[in-house]
Structure 1
Amino acid sequence: MFVGFDYGTSNCAMAYVHNGQARLIPLYGSNTFAHSTLYACERSFIAEAVWQQLPQGEDKLLFAKSRSALLSQSRAGKQEHSIANVRDGLFFGQDAIDHYIAAPSEGYFIKSPKSFLGASGLRQQSVDFFEDVVAAMMLNVKIRAEEHLGQTITQAVIGRPVNFQGINAQHSNQQAQDILTAAGKRVGFREIEFLFEPLAAGFDFETRLTENKRVLVVDIGGGTTDCSMVLMGPAHIQQLDRAQDFLGHTGERVGGNDFDIQFAQKLLMPEFGINSPLSTGLPMPIMPFVNAMAINDIGAQTDFYDMKTTQLLEKLSRETTEPLLLNRFIKMREGKHNFAVVREAEGGKIALSTQSNCAIDLGFIESNLAPVCAAQDFAEVSTQLLQKISALITEAVAQAEAQPDIVYLTGGSAKSPLIQRVIRSLFGEQIAVVDGDHFGSVAAGLGVWAGRVFR
């Protein structure tokens, strides 16, 4: 059986074709989405979970050889946690978030691993790790989908952004796609095709067009913004080779997560001492605070938890004129609460899309700590990100050498009124702007395409 698989930065979803229409597959009860999160009681459990489900043969032997140290650690970990199967020590989606919040320093938590797949300078050990993380998350979604469908899924069209990472894009894109392919093969996808996510979102929309149109698809997801100008409509929809219909593509790693991180850095970190003057007369170094909130940057996270940062914070504790604020920051670091702070920033971002201000509950750091943030302040600190998105849209139109007839707006972050203002500033009221299914259109479009390439 074939599916479309949206392995997203924020959420994962699968779609299949039934009676000619793409349908999202319920994964958790009636919920068709799973947060792109994983919590492991032991990091080694991730590798063993992948190894367990590999069929007997050379691939399983090679995998065991390359992960031998982790598999040995996993055996000891199972004894320590008194579990017989590592899957009892792995949690996904909302379960992963709940376990992380309950015990942030006791396990291993990863959010939005897709953000890291194109990172420059990854060593083979890191590539292996991300293959295992992606495979474990894919397997969780695949098993749940198969239970609902009552069939084994062997073919998948997987979505990918135009660019995973801005630096050395060609190498970055190949590395990320190779990781996704390796993970997909290990969980049982015998055939895998890839499709740009904005095009997938557009294909779902195309099924509802009755006239041929130039459609600018703007897909603003959790990790990336992708734009594609595509010829769509009845004259194009049945063609398997759509290369001549694609008039322009742009994409960059800027998405909803970046707005969350910017919110946390600029509006929340002042409560942790980022602006505190030092007794030496020098300003507070900002990099520890920036790195703490940059949860989608593997290098920043490594630096944040490095011993050099420990030593720097000890020095700053003696020099800061506001020790209570810096102590909050140190407490957050010791408890590994930086992911939770960014998660609260995300909630604040969502709240400010419909109200002028909101309080951010940081009571897990300190009782009654709830700074109030204003929508206007969030808009101001988001200016640079909005300019990047505007530039991507403008470049896609320039490549097409034509204005769109319709702007199709999709992706979880596209609901933001800040994004809506950018679109209207570029196109005014003359061009129709259509809001798609902000979370489901990519998966549905991947399902549509899977029905064409695997039929």
Structure 2
Amino acid sequence: MAACGLDFGTSNTTLGIGAGDRPVLVPLEGTHRTLPSAIFFAPGREAQIGRAAIEAYVEGTPGRLMRALKSVLGSALIEETTPVGRERIRFRDVIARYLTLVKARGEAEAGVDLDTVVHGRPVHFVDNDPAGDRKAEDTLRQIAESIGFRHVRFQYEPIAAALEYERMVTSEEIALIADIGGGTSDFSIVRLSPERHRRDERADDILANDGIRIGGTDFDRNLSLGAVMPLLGLGSPMKRADLSVPNAYFHDLATWSSINRLYNSKTLREIDEVVRDAARPELVTRLRTVVEAERGHSLAMAVEGAKIAASDAGTGTVDLEWVESGLAAAVDRGRLAGHTEDLARRMAQRIDRCLAQAGLSADRIDALFLTGGSTGLPHVRAALTACVPTARVVDGDTFGSVGLGLTLEAARLAA
């Protein structure tokens, strides 16, 4: 039995193999261990994934880019079809095509056929909907089986991160694991030690587990709606008194998984009508430019880049020169926090719920282990650390901790 750990994330994917206590994430694109969760369909060509998919789109190759694929799990979209060239395919089949290529690359690196997978999953695919949550896991299981995995197991992503962190601990401690990914934020409180790490059954060591469907793409969305979409007409008035420009177009354009909905002639005709009736038609004309050129993903990537720049360096810019000469949106840390502080607050509330679930006070937490890209946002980090102010803060492998933990569990299954 050849087993792997597969962290299919909203933003990035990793695949790991290994034996015993030595997990390894294999390169999935050149020397890169992480693969952007993106797929590009070009007419008459095989689908491209990862950075190559994004590059093909940015270079203007005719075709269809899809990102944040995982976010449709648990939603009605999973069974819907989307146009790809001259055919329409279901979103679940898009995910299957992406994961088929990921599996093939992992097998090429490992030199063996992989028949067993430990799949990572968020604590909740869907908030407050147990039936939807079960459906999402069942769908992902069916996809995994359809692409050749005979044995499929699931592990909560924060628990997987805890297994990876536990390799570093030298004595028993209680750790709060915070995994802030692209689509979800997941938290676990776990009792860890070198001795416990060798046990196969760890249910008694999991003291609390919770999560919320908020992640990095939601920060992108809120920042886009707050700082960029007003430049394209969001919130601007119509000629008719007391009416504003319809906001559905802007919400779709700001949401990674919904961007492609706009790319059809019907939407363009509707936007033309809005331009005609808008009090400031020049703003809505910019929206039309983006939609007609099918550059929504370019806009989303620019927003994501400005978010990262503002987080790391204090300031960032969304360059919209290609929409209109001289057009840009400036973003700094204050503006980023202002547009997304509610998301950080809601994440922190889940930590309070975990503490209550575990029956622990905040000062009983020895370590706060952080993983996932959005833990780098200063106001998110501040919100999380404020919940357990006496805990030691440990930064994990930002994009690899979950995958490494899943690989540890896969190695145990294969032993």
Q: Are positions 1:112 and 2:73 aligned together?
A: no
Q: Are positions 1:100 and 2:57 aligned together?
A: yes
CA drift of 1:377 comes to 1.1
Q: Are positions 1:362 and 2:320 aligned together?
A: yes
Q: Are positions 1:211 and 2:171 aligned together?
A: yes
Q: Are positions 1:268 and 2:228 aligned together?
A: yes
TM-score (norm 2): 0.91
Distance in structure 2 (CA, Å) of the matches to 1:417 and 1:130: 34
CA drift of 1:292 comes to 1.9
What pairs up with 1:226-305 in 2 under 5 angstroms?
Answer: 226-282=186-242, 283-297=244-258, 302=261, 304=262
SS at structure 2 position matched to 1:26: coil
Q: Are positions 1:419 and 2:376 aligned together?
A: no
From 289, 300, 304, the equivalent of 1:342 is 300
1:117–1:130: 8 Å Cα contact kept in structure 2? no
What pairs up with 1:27-426 in 2 under 5 angstroms?
Answer: 27-42=28-43, 81=44, 88-103=45-60, 106-120=62-76, 123=79, 129-168=90-129, 170-282=130-242, 283-297=244-258, 302=261, 304=262, 309-402=267-360, 403=362, 404-426=365-387
2:406 counterpart residue number: 446
Q: What is the letter of the counterpart of residue 349 of structure 2? A: A
2:20–2:412: 8 Å Cα contact kept in structure 1? no
SS at structure 1 position matched to 2:219: helix
1:53 counterpart residue number: none
SS at structure 1 position matched to 2:191: strand
CA drift of 1:124 comes to 7.0
Distance in structure 1 (CA, Å) of the matches to 2:231 and 2:309: 20
Distance in structure 2 (CA, Å) of the matches to 1:285 and 1:306: 17
SS at structure 2 position matched to 1:38: strand
Q: What is the letter of the counterpart of residue 116 of structure 1? A: V
Distance in structure 2 (CA, Å) of the matches to 1:121 and 1:92: 21
Instruction: Choose 171-180 or 244-253, whichever is displaced more.
Output: 171-180
2:189–2:207: 8 Å Cα contact kept in structure 1? yes
Aligned pairs, how many?
405
Encode CA deviations 1:37-95: one digit per residue, 9 max, x unaligned. 001125xxxxxxxxxxxxxxxxxxxxxxxxxxxxxxxxxxxxxx4xxxxxx43110011
2:86 counterpart residue number: none
Distance in structure 2 (CA, Å) of the matches to 1:125 and 1:306: 14
Question: Percent same amino acid among aligned pairs?
Answer: 30
Distance in structure 1 (CA, Å) of the matches to 2:344 and 2:257: 18
RMSD between aligned residues: 2.2
Distance in structure 2 (CA, Å) of the matches to 1:233 and 1:256: 31
CA drift of 1:238 comes to 1.9
Q: What is the letter of the counterpart of residue 198 of structure 2? A: Q
CA drift of 1:19 comes to 6.3
Distance in structure 2 (CA, Å) of the matches to 1:101 and 1:165: 32
2:217–2:255: 8 Å Cα contact kept in structure 1? no
CA drift of 1:435 comes to 0.8
1:120–1:167: 8 Å Cα contact kept in structure 2? no
CA drift of 1:309 comes to 4.6
Q: What is the letter of the counterpart of residue 250 of structure 1? A: D
Q: List alignment gaps of at least 5 residues for structure 1.
A: 43-80, 82-87
